[in-house]
Chains A and B, each alone.
Chain A
Amino acid sequence: MSSEITVAGQQELRRSVTPWGSYSWGYADVGADIFVALGLVIGVAGGATNIAFLFAGLVYVCVGLAYTELAAAYPVAGGGQYFVMRGLGDFLGFIAGWAVLLDFTIDITLFAWGCIGYLSHLPVLHILDAGTHPMVHFWVIFSVIAALAALNVIGVRESTAFNGFVSAIDVFSETLILVLGFLFTFHPEILIHSMQTGWPNTFQLMNGISLAIISFVGLESISHAAEETSRPAQIIPRTSISLILTILIFALAYSNLALGMQPWFPTPHDAAGHAQQFWHYLGTTQNQDKAVAVMASNIPYFGLLAAFYVPVFGATLLLISSNSGVFGSSRIAYSMSQFNLLPSIFKRVHRKFKTPVISIAVFCTLAAIELVFAALQGDFGYEFLGDLYAFGAAASYTLVFVALIALRMKDPLTPRKFMIPLNLKLRYRGEQIYFPLVGLIGFFGILAILVFVLLTHHIGRIAGPSWLIFGIAIYAIYRLRKKLPLFGSAPRDWSRDQVRILKNAGELELMDELVDKLKARDPNFTMKVS
């Protein structure tokens, strides 16, 4: 069958990512999140930090499964924006993409802030501490953002091999901290005591849950990697499930360990001179941006090494994540402009370096502006960035769940090598469809987190929606100028596009299966060759 169909050659990314490459690409992005999220969540959720991570973790499993199914079925770069545009149309596709862009720009600033925070844990670099030297802290982060922008313009970015190396070290290091921490410092009675004495009120718990989702942001990488993975329908599900489980366990383990550990060194008294529990000390503003390093340095004996090793390692990991924000934002903007969701200026590449220079400049400038706003918040600057990060993630993930359900109904013919479990068999417009119950549960879970963000984040509930309104204004002006429908979609032939996508991905069996189904539905279906 495949010989009957010849597909127009299209310029596409080389498919050279292996199963480990696909895993490490995702891990390099999501694995760093716990280094940022732990301190933030403990700061607000206190004794219920593990409950906050558990709730967000269960929602994350649903999100992860949704991304796995969609990335394996539609292996193209663009991620959430592409899935939503395909399932729900151009306007909502733009909203999802714009929310992801918010996340990527925040990602640049938040992780650069975290990188400097971890370095400041080293005694020789204490001058970088946000609390004691705020101006030095600000200018160092600003320089990091400027340097990343310059590196991305000249086209230097981490390779898959480098990502794989860092991910391997990271999995090993996080496992080592976890194993030694549980072996030498964990006491279940301290965990129960912390939960009983430090239980937050409902408002704080909702705030903690909404911040805990930060720990699981970065699943876009799975779909970005999909376009460069050979046989993505086979490889993506295998690597994604392993990635989802690993990240979930690390988040649950670190939160339980933080609440239930007996530190090696006596915990310093608080600012008022009162004794405080270790988890309380971790969640204070001076430790929020380096919580994992503080925790690791309190593991007996290993802490002597960890006091130097974990800050350097954490800073490296966070710098890579910050860089993935620069790279990711320019790639999403490029993809959106290709589908006429953003002006074509975002597609423009540098004459010499062949990189999307305008996108990089625009989004790094936005990241710098966010840094200024965060710095103006004083001690709460880190939390401010976390608020916006949570808003962007919750908004885009909510739309991805609706897109998953819509695509199951509108596009039942596309072969899905991996399907989220627990489906309801239904008939819709004469076709048999599988309604994803887990998708529905995930939708309500992430919607609850979005509501928590809007209810509890004083700045996030204003700045997040303002970002969306700003984007909609740009979209409206651009679409009206181009004489394209504002709320409707530009005409596209998704069936033929899908055949092309599967052909380019090397999934020839799936392509044949799809063509057979399309021919069974419409005997006149043919694909023109060029």
Chain B
Amino acid sequence: MSFRQSKAYVGFKVFNGMLFIVLGAAIFVQVARIAGARVEAIPGLVLGAAMFGLGAYRLTMMLRYRT
């Protein structure tokens, strides 16, 4: 069994994906709440969305790989 198929690797990737999803969502919500619809909010909102996207991508890839 290769390392990529091991439980430890899958667990790490799932944790990593979840971490980015939670952190991305938190940054997005916080920036949106504090800055509202101002131009200065754009980089923070993009960052939050991108982190959420990367987490979701990793999680989806992992689930697809497992099935």
Contact = CB atoms under 8 A, between A and B. Distances in A.
Contacts of B31: 188, 191
Identify whether the interface residues of B are mostly helix, strand, loop, or mixed: helix
B34 interface: yes
A256 B34 CA distance: 15
Given A182-B23, A192-B40, A252 B35 contact: no
Contacts of B53: 245
A189 B46 contact: no
B10 interface: no
Contacts of A188: 30-31, 33-35, 44
Contact of B50 (A51, A191, A192, A248): A248
Contacts of A196: 40
B43 A54 contact: yes
A195 interface: yes
B38 interface: yes
Interface string A172-207: 000100010010001011011001100000000000
Interface residues of B, number: 24
A400 B15 CA distance: 37
B57 A245 contact: yes
A101 B46 CA distance: 34
Given A182-B23, A192-B34, A249 B40 contact: no
B27 interface: yes
A240 interface: no
A273 B40 CA distance: 30
Nearest to A53: B43
Contacts of A186: 27
Nearest to B58: A242
Interface residues of A, number: 23
A347 to B, nearest CB: 39
Contacts of A276: none
A253 B47 contact: yes
Nearest to B29: A188
A179 B19 CA distance: 9
Given A53-B43, A192-B40, A249-B50, 13 more contacts: A175-B16, A188-B34, A188-B44, A189-B34, A191-B44, A195-B40, A245-B54, A245-B57, A249-B47, A252-B46, A255-B43, A256-B27, A260-B44
25 contacts: A50-B43, A53-B43, A54-B43, A54-B46, A179-B19, A186-B27, A188-B30, A189-B34, A191-B31, A192-B34, A192-B35, A192-B41, A196-B40, A245-B50, A245-B54, A245-B57, A248-B50, A249-B50, A249-B51, A252-B50, A255-B43, A256-B27, A256-B43, A256-B44, A260-B44
Interface of A: 50-51, 53-54, 175, 179, 182, 186, 188-189, 191-192, 195-196, 245-246, 248-249, 252-253, 255-256, 260
Interface of B: 16, 19-20, 23, 26-27, 30-31, 33-35, 38, 40-44, 46-47, 50-51, 53-54, 57
Ranked 7 nearest A-B pairs via Cβ: A50-B43, A188-B34, A195-B40, A252-B47, A188-B31, A192-B40, A188-B30
